[in-house]
Amino acid sequence: MIETTLYAYIVLAIAGGLLTLLSSVGIFISLIVQRRLDRLQEILEEFINLSYRSEINLTGKMHSLIEKYQMNYIFPHKPRSLILSYIDFNIFFILFLWTITFFMYCKPPLQLFLLLQLIPLIIGIYASLFFRRLLRNTINLENPLLETIVPSPARLRSISYLSHFINLSVESVLKQARLSLNLSLRSKGGQTEASVFLKEELSYDDFFFYLVLQKERPEKVLFLACGEIRFHFPPDPITKKPVPVCRNINIPLGSFHLTGHTENISAKFLVFTRGEKHPVQYSYQLIQGRGFLASAGNPDIVVNHQIVYQVQEKKIRILENKSSIPCFQELSPHFNLQGERYYLDPSSPSPILRTCLDDFFID
Amino acid sequence: MRYNSTLFVEELQKILSQPLSPEDHSYLDLSAAKEVSLDMLADVPPADPLTEAVGLILDSMNHGPFELTRLGINELLKSYLSRVSKENERSCTRSYLDCIYQLYLFALLERYPYTDLFWEYLSLCFDTVSRHLVEHKLLVSCQVFLSKVTLMGKWAAQKNLHTNLIQHFLHNMEIWAREEGYLELADSAKNHRFNLETV
């Protein structure tokens, strides 16, 4: 039998000891997290540095850097759950001890003064729960608290995110993504139906595009498309590994009826990102293959300084040189970042704007 | 005179028109021989036109304009296309691709200035050659060709050279093979394309 007054001291001493242990766990966590942040920022910096060397092929290197980033980003599951359960147990036990000591000396009836006496306990409970949340957030980097300091790996494939870095050239990052056009031709009842695909060697997303396919001599617009490209890659269903970035991705942009010969077809592809004011322009020359039309060689990639745009509330406003974008009037209501892709076939008897619902695929 | 392209091609054609050295010649190769017979030690290998041709092209790569190298590769591949047939496809493809591979390795040297041009030209040639192979149903050569070219492509990717032409070639190969009904070849081309740039 221990004396009641003494027992309360013992309980409080145990609670204090546990609290010290908990704070040392906090230091331990902060050490680990700091090291991880260092690693992640190093990789991020290396990634940004790559963009200065646009003339050589760095696609493989960028891919492996994003994967490396992903590897450092996730904390191994087992130690994480162990630490989390330790923290939870510790905090709830401390709270339990505090409450017990309080009620040991609490004598009815309930008065207003008792409520005032309760205030330290309430503040203590609130502070410990807040501390718990803080620790949990630091261990799981996927939270809004740290997102601004350490971007999630999926952010590294977002052109809009990357374009926020002042010294990063969007053009050279896009060069490594190797965007190309591919039209697969299918004959149907005497007519040729062409499905347009955008191929990306490395799946960069989060940008707005505008595409026009034109025939030269006589000049004629064959196909128009615009919209936002955004991917969601769920973790691999079999291995359960996260997928920050994919290779060889095909994005369907729509289809149209192709009439006449397939020579001298050129394409203009504009990329609008959130952090810039001039779009990146791709010029493709399409060549005929067996059953397909594909862009030949390296496309001409330039930043089009003639066009100025601004993104306002998910809407893209062209400020200068609207006339250099064919059929801008028809498409302008759809120049917004809603994750939808639209296309228009001007040669069809009744040209209407359609939404492309086909999902992207890897091939 | 020294850098005359007509004379260069003529000389190359003259060399390449000689018959290839037969496979079962009696020259003793210690790396391949299981046992050594002492009376064969003094034998000499038959003259090989390919070695001579490669030497000539390497000379042009060492101190000639790129045009000569380009013509040299072109002639080498043309001679391959004229020689390859159902009977000799494996050995013929191997020996010619070994030559191309040697030239390619030389082109990867740090001091060789035309690496990009060389690789681009080679990639474009591969496209046409493989198309010919698929159309003439030379399946074994296609397989040999595919694996060797992918090997070169992997090297190129590691050296930060552009591989989109090779990707294009592999994609074309896949489509042609699928059209002709060679599904195994098509799958292998696709697999090679996916693995091209995995470092």
What pLDDT was estimated at residue A5? Answer: 78
Mutant choice from B168, B192, B195 vs A, greatest count of A C-beta within 10 A: B168
The Cα of A279 is separated from the nearest Cα of chain B by a number of Å equal to: 24
> pLDDT tens digit string along A178-229?
888 989 888 887 788 889 999 998 899 899 999 999 888 778 888 889 999 9
pLDDT value at residue A218: 73
- pLDDT-derived band of residue A1, with 50, 70 and 90 as boundaries? low
Q: Which residue of B has its CA nearest to A288?
A: B172
Relative to beta strand A354-355, strand A341-344 is antiparallel
Task: Determine, for residues B162 and A56 on separate chains, whether the beta-carbon distance falls below 8 Å.
Answer: yes
| B162 and chain A in contact, CB less than 8 A | yes
Are residues B175 and A290, on separate chains, in Cβ contact within 8 Å? yes
Say if the Cβ atoms of B164 and A298 lie within 8 Å: yes
Predicted local confidence at residue B53, as pLDDT: 93
Q: How far, in Å, CA of B98 to CA of B148, rounded? A: 9
pLDDT above 70 covers a percentage of chain B that reads 99
Residue B161: list chain A partners with CB under 8 A.
56-57
Nearest in space to A29 (alpha carbons), one of A82, A70, A67? A82
pLDDT tens-digit readout, B93-115: 999 999 999 999 999 999 999 99
Alpha helices, DSSP H only, in chain B?
A: 5-16, 49-63, 66-83, 89-107, 115-135, 139-158, 164-180, 183-195
Nearest CA of chain B to the CA of A194: how many Å? 17
Contact B164 A178 (CB under 8 A): yes
Look at B161 and A201 and tell me if their CB atoms are within 8 Å. Answer: no
**Mutate which: B117, B131, B135, B164, vs A, most A CBs within 10 A:** B164
pLDDT in tens, A243-297: 999 988 999 999 888 877 778 888 999 999 988 889 999 999 888 877 788 887 7
Q: Which residues pair with A257 in a beta bridge?
A: A193
Q: In chain A, what percentage of residues exceed pLDDT 70?
A: 99
- Exposed, middle or buried, B69 (CB in 10 Å: 0-12/13-18/19+)? buried
Contacts of B198 in chain A (CB under 8 A): 60
Contacts of A202 in chain B (CB under 8 A): none
Closest chain A CA to residue B175: A290
Which chain B residue has its CA at the smallest distance from A249's CA?
B194
Whether the predicted pLDDT of B70 surpasses 90: yes
Cβ pair A248:B193 closer than 8 A: yes
Per DSSP, A296 falls in state -
3-class secondary structure, A62: helix
pLDDT given at position A351: 79
DSSP tag of B67: H
pLDDT of residue A314: 84
Q: What is the mean pLDDT of residues A72-91?
A: 86
Read off the pLDDT band of A346 (50, 70, 90): confident
pLDDT digits (tens, 9 = 90+) for A89-107: 999 999 999 888 888 887 7
Assigned token pair, A85: 């359960």
pLDDT in tens, B137-189: 888 899 898 999 999 999 898 888 888 888 888 888 888 888 888 899 999 99
Print burial letters for B167-184: b (CB count within 10 Å at least 16), e (below 16).
bbbbbbbbbbbeeeebee
The reply to whether residue B199 touches residue A298, judged by beta carbons under 8 angstroms, is: no
Contact flag B198-A60 (C-beta cutoff 8 Å): yes
Question: Does residue A3 surpass a pLDDT of 70?
Answer: yes
Q: Which residues of B touch A61 (CB under 8 A)?
A: 160, 199
Flag if B162 and A292 touch (Cβ within 8 Å).
Answer: no
Ramachandran angles phi, psi of B86, nearest 5°: -55, -35
The C-alpha of A76 sits at a distance from chain B's nearest C-alpha, in angstroms, of: 24
Beta strand A292-295 pairing with A300-303: unpaired
Q: What chain B residue is nearest to A248 in terms of C-alpha separation?
A: B194
pLDDT on residue B1 = 47
Q: Which residues in B lie closer than 8 A to residue A59 (C-beta atoms)?
A: 157, 197
Q: What is the pLDDT of residue B199?
A: 62
pLDDT at A326: 79
B26-41 pLDDT, tens digit per residue, is 788 888 888 888 888 8
- AA letter at A235: P
**Higher per-residue pLDDT: A333 or A233:** A233
Place of tokens 């009376």: B39
pTM of the predicted structure, to 2 decimals: 0.80
Quick check: B167 and A201 CB within 8 A?
yes
Angle between helices B5-16 and B49-63 (to 10 degrees): 160
Q: Name the closest residue on chain B to residue A181, using Cα atoms.
A: B168
* A186 neighbourhood in chain B, CB within 8 Å: none
Q: What is the pLDDT, as a whole number, of residue A108?
A: 73
Interface test with B, best of A55, A248, A249, A250 (most B CBs within 10 A): A248
Q: Looking at the partner chain, which of A60, A248, A298 has a beta carbon nearest the beta carbon of B157? A: A60
Element (H, E) at A71: helix A59-73
Q: How many CB pairs under 8 A join A and B?
A: 44
Question: How are beta strands A247-258 and A341-344 bridged, if at all?
Answer: unpaired
Does any CB of chain A come closer than 8 Å to the CB of residue B158?
A: yes
Look at residues B84, B21, B12 and name the one whose alpha carbon lies nearest to residue B53: B12
Q: What chain A residue is nearest to B160 in terms of C-alpha separation? A: A57
Q: Which residues contact B78 (CB under 8 A, 6 or more apart)?
A: none
Map tokens 């309980």 to a residue: A11
The answer to whether residues A357 and A227 touch, using CB atoms and an 8 Å cutoff, is no
- From the list A56, A294, A298, the residue facing B160 with the nearest CB is A56
Task: Share the mean pLDDT of chain A.
Answer: 86
